[in-house]
Structure 1
Amino acid sequence: MAARSLFTVSTRMTGTVTKQHNQDLLIPNSLNPSNSLRSQWLGNTAIKFTRHPSNLGGPFSPKYPPINATVSLSLPTVNPEAVGSAEKLPKWSSKAIKSFAMGELEARKIKSPNTGTEALLMGILIEGTSFASKFLRANGVTLLKVRDEIGKKRGKLDMFFFSPEHPPLTEATQRALDWAVNEKLKSGENGEITTAHMLVGLWQQQESLGHRVLVSLGFSDEKAKELHSLISEPGFKDD
């Protein structure tokens, strides 16, 4: 066998071995599986190995594109300028931001064109460690029950529909987030906007799917008032 240090090997379904860059690569026929076996193993895939100048390891190292990550420290608000300046705008807790991100993901899973209040509700439950998620579970509202109710109310999914990467918020979801911000501002308390603020804001959207799902699972105005009372106490934290 003759081979040089820099070369590219391409294998395809035709079962032939090609010469590239004037390199000779000899493979015994006994090592070549039949085309029928190749089709079972690889389908129509092509495997390509390349050596990159920056590679410090072995001669066969795939090139990977760089990974870009963006971390959001806030959530969308319609009129942030209403509070006067960004410094005066309350910050969302990390658990609230994670709940929102999980809600976006759930909206895509259920093939929704928007991030609705039902997705926000699922996001709170999936995050799982916040005061709001614990309060919901203590009152019989679990993720499995919520998903089941959403399925009943939305009907059969359109399997050929693909949600956008970041499904835009419905008006009800935006109002829920704005309610949480305004409620924190009215309290005059320092600290973060929590998932509990988010949940009470969601409950205010009485025509939304998230509200209707909560009603179906036994959540009530009394429970919402209890939660609102708790988050209104000085020093409330999202634990």
Structure 2
Amino acid sequence: MAAHSLSATSITRPELKQFNLNKSALGLHISLRSQWLGTIAMNKFSLQSSSIRPLFTRRRRISATISFSLPTSKPDRTDATEKIPRWSSKAIKSFAMSELEARKIKSPTTDTEALLMGILIEGTSFASKFLRANGITLLKVRDEILKLRGKPEMFFFSPEHPPLTEAAQRALDWAIDEKLKSGENGEITTTHLLLGLWRQEESPGHQVLAALGFNDEKAKELDSLISEPGFVEDS
């Protein structure tokens, strides 16, 4: 077959006498003129045309909201104290990430295993560095969670802010209580949060940590480190 030349305005074939190509703000308009079919207008190539939008699947947007404090089941506990301990920015970010991870695994609640993932995803705190130094990584944690929970239901969607389970709330409360008992100034750190979830022995977060080699000896090591004078989250 002989080669045919194609330009923006015509095709040199006998059966197609005219080929018009016009660009506009709405997209691409093409018209073909045939000696048998007459004029054929085509206007379905626009990326902005609503005719092709249904071809793209809309995905549910996932977002996380970061507050300046974390939930507590004992709001009156710190009212009588002169100095109310504050959560560090890294602990707050870890908590926000845990809510997001709970939604990713399609959990109706934020449990201790989500708190653990949040700590690792934040990635810059002393607790996250300690975990990684001991071989406990985010990928390994996710694998263990999949073993515990199984595959999530495809058509289930978590709430925007999955509520804390009792075990997860106890982990947060333990962290606050320990900071108050210490009598030290400073913030409640991500390390306090990690130790708090380890204390919840029947929780999935504790089970995941234990499966990956975390134990009471490592918990004591962490506890001694945060008890040292001058300990800060960035250390």
Q: Structure 1 stretches of 5 or more lacking a match?
A: 1-26, 47-68
Which position in structure 1 is the counterpart of 2:124? 129
CA distance in 1, matches of 2:182, 2:118: 25
- Give the match's secondary structure for 2:181: helix
1:171-210 superposed matches below 5 A:
171-210=166-205
Cα distance 1:209–1:28, how it changes in 2: closer, same or farther (>3 A)? Answer: closer
The amino acid of 2:147's aligned partner reads K
- Give the match's secondary structure for 2:77: helix
Query: Residues 56-103 of structure 1, C-alpha deviation per residue, up to 9 Å, x if partnerless?
Result: xxxxxxxxxxxxx97521101111212234863200000000000000
Which position in structure 2 is the counterpart of 1:113? 108
- Give the match's secondary structure for 1:189: coil
The amino acid of 2:95's aligned partner reads F
CA distance in 2, matches of 1:111, 1:177: 22
CA distance in 1, matches of 2:93, 2:134: 22
CA-based RMSD of the aligned residues comes to 2.7
CA distance in 2, matches of 1:236, 1:156: 40
Q: Structure 2 stretches of 5 or more lacking a match?
A: 1-26, 32-39, 55-63
Larger radius of gyration: 2
Which position in structure 2 is the counterpart of 1:34? 42
Q: What is the deviation of 1:45? A: 3.9
Greater share of helix residues, 1 or 2? Answer: 1
The amino acid of 2:79's aligned partner reads G
Query: Residues 41-61 of structure 1, C-alpha deviation per residue, up to 9 Å, x if partnerless?
Result: 754549xxxxxxxxxxxxxxx
- How does the TM-score come out when normalised to structure 1? 0.73
Which position in structure 2 is the counterpart of 1:61? none
Contact 1:80 1:89 in 2 (8 A): no
CA distance in 2, matches of 1:28, 1:122: 48
Q: What is the deviation of 1:134? A: 0.4
1:161-176 superposed matches below 5 A:
161-176=156-171
1:72-91 superposed matches below 5 A:
72-85=67-80, 88-91=83-86
Cα distance 1:209–1:71, how it changes in 2: closer, same or farther (>3 A)? Answer: closer
- Give the match's secondary structure for 2:68: coil
The amino acid of 2:114's aligned partner reads A
Which position in structure 1 is the counterpart of 2:221? 226
CA distance in 1, matches of 2:148, 2:28: 62
* Count of aligned pairs between the two proteins: 191
Which position in structure 2 is the counterpart of 1:55? none
Greater share of strand residues, 1 or 2? Answer: 2
The amino acid of 2:42's aligned partner reads S
Q: Does 1:156 align with 2:151?
A: yes
Q: Does 1:146 align with 2:141?
A: yes
- How does the TM-score come out when normalised to structure 2? 0.74
CA distance in 1, matches of 2:123, 2:208: 18
Contact 2:66 2:92 in 1 (8 A): no
